[in-house]
Amino acid sequence: MNTHSDTPGTPRILVVDDEPSMLLYTRTLLETERYSVDTASSGEEAIRKVQARAPDLMLLDMSMPTMSGLQTMEACKKLVPDQRIIMVSCVTDTNTVVQAMKLGALDYLTKPIYKAELDAVIRRSLSPRPLENDIPVIHFTATTDMEQIDPLDNDLFFLAVSPAMKQIRAQISIVAKVDVPILILGESGVGKEVLARLIHKLSHRAQKSFVRVNCAALPADLLESELFGYESGAFTGATRSKPGKFEMANHGTILMDEIGEMNPLLQAKLLHVLQDGQYSKLGGRSNVTADVRILAATNIDIQKAIAQKTFREDLFYRLNAFTMNVPPLRERREEIPALLKHYIARYAEKYNQPPLYESERLISACLRYHWPGNLRELGNFVKRYIVLQDETMAVAELEEKIRLLKVASPAPEKTNNHWDSGLKSLVRSSRDQTELKAIEEALSNTHWNRKLAAMRLNISYKALLNKIKQYHLKPPVLE
């Protein structure tokens, strides 16, 4: 296949498909946007081209005869671990999508490919990790990384500033389109329900119901009737039939929150729903079909619960088609300033109080605190701050908690020492680390083409040269 001639600064895209007509069609769409396009008609050919010179992005067909898309993806990722790959297929095969995501696919396109969708996916996939856009979050200005999930509920939002949360957001954009069960793990208060609601919002079930069930809030017998409903006369006091949560969520999504607290006997009935898509109401004489997508969330150690026989292993494997681990707030502290800004504005409006300014003193204290209650604890802290309108008291509250934490842990981890060095030092350290990582990645991906790297980083060529000098970066020595 001929290769479109490279233009300096133009992203290079490799299209891999065994259908010549599809290669020509996709190439034409891309070249109208002035991308530099190369093609391969098999997985083997694609691997050779990646080995010779890795493209900026691959569009990879999942269904090819001699070497599948998954096999090709795995081989290319071994050659170039950070190779950006978009899956393309004429069918939405659940297992293939999940496996491709685990291998690191960025997004998913179904055939026929439409230009608007293709353009949007490519823009997202080629966008560099910005330098300047990360700094305002640390400097406490407004951020565009906050995604409102429900326009009527300001408490439901998804924030992706840290690398871990950006990766989770990318995974959600893919897995939301496929009806697989998802297990969401994380400490209490990290926002597991928010992830579930975002998955529902981005799925084809978005116009149907989203139903949440707290499995820890009710004893087993009441939880069973809550989930599956009951018929009239099923037990004493059941004078009329009642629909369960599964019936209410029909064609929609159900979140089984705190599923680790569910009684093992009830787990068996839930397993039956996952396996056969059917359940029976209490007192019912026939099975009811359940067209429901099941999401599950828990803060327990699942493997420990399985070992202790409090959680069924077969249910875990049914739920574990795809797992998302939400990191605690202390592992994504760079999001605290943006969260503070949002909560302060939100609760000032809610409680009809004058908006307060998040000073460096307040932010510094928030950054140094451990936040064992995660986002829930931070939100409650801001509520008190807004109601009392006393920054000195708010900071003193955090300082006392920090002091007690140091007393309880006299030998803190070295990696946390920089949080005590003051806000300006923290900002400078975070900025430098972000810049260095992004610059190294851009230079590596462009094979040290400085002009192209500068374009991808959205900075001037001269600025990049200064940064290379500042961080003492040197091109790799060719052997």
* pLDDT given at position 426: 46
* pLDDT given at position 454: 78
Residue 477 lies in a domain: no
Q: Which residue has the tokens 């975070």?
A: 430
Residue 132 lies in a domain: no
pTM: 0.66
Structure tokens at 284: 């019912």
The last residue of a domain, from among 374, 390, 414? 414
Domain count, the chain: 4
* pLDDT given at position 477: 55
Same domain, 351 and 375: yes
Residue 215 lies in a domain: yes
The one-digit pLDDT tens for each residue of the chain (479 residues) are 444 556 667 899 999 999 999 999 999 989 888 899 999 999 999 999 999 999 999 999 988 988 999 999 999 999 998 899 998 987 666 777 778 887 888 888 888 888 888 888 888 788 654 333 333 333 333 344 678 888 777 778 898 888 888 888 888 888 888 888 999 999 999 999 999 999 999 999 999 999 999 998 888 888 988 899 888 877 777 778 888 899 999 999 999 999 999 988 899 989 989 888 888 888 888 888 889 999 999 999 988 999 999 999 999 998 888 889 999 999 999 899 989 988 998 899 888 988 787 788 899 999 999 999 999 999 999 999 999 999 999 999 999 988 887 776 555 444 444 444 444 444 445 456 667 877 888 888 777 888 777 777 777 777 888 888 887 887 775 44
Residue 70 lies in a domain: yes
| CATH classification of the domain holding 103 | 3.40.50.2300
Range of the domain at 437: 423-470
* pLDDT given at position 134: 36
Same domain, 170 and 247: yes
Residue 330 lies in a domain: no
Same domain, 256 and 347: no
Same domain, 167 and 280: yes
The last residue of a domain, from among 265, 293, 325? 325
Question: Cβ(385)–Cβ(356) under 8 Å?
Answer: yes
Residue 373 lies in a domain: yes
| CATH classification of the domain holding 450 | 1.10.10
Same domain, 169 and 280: yes
Same domain, 299 and 155: yes
Transcribe 118-177 into DSSP letters.
HHHHHHHHH----STTTHHHHTT---TTEEEEETTEEEEEEE--SHHHHHHHHHHHHHTT
* pLDDT given at position 424: 47
* pLDDT given at position 8: 63
Same domain, 115 and 57: yes
**Count of CB atoms within 10 A of residue 206's CB?**
13
Nearest to 398 by CA among 377, 423, 416: 377
- CA–CA distance, 175 with 177 (Å, rounded to integer): 5
* pLDDT given at position 16: 96
| CATH classification of the domain holding 246 | 3.40.50.300
Same domain, 389 and 433: no
Same domain, 112 and 17: yes
Residue 52 lies in a domain: yes
The last residue of a domain, from among 301, 325, 349? 325
| CATH classification of the domain holding 349 | 1.10.8
Same domain, 162 and 267: yes
Same domain, 341 and 221: no
Same domain, 179 and 85: no
Residue 87 lies in a domain: yes
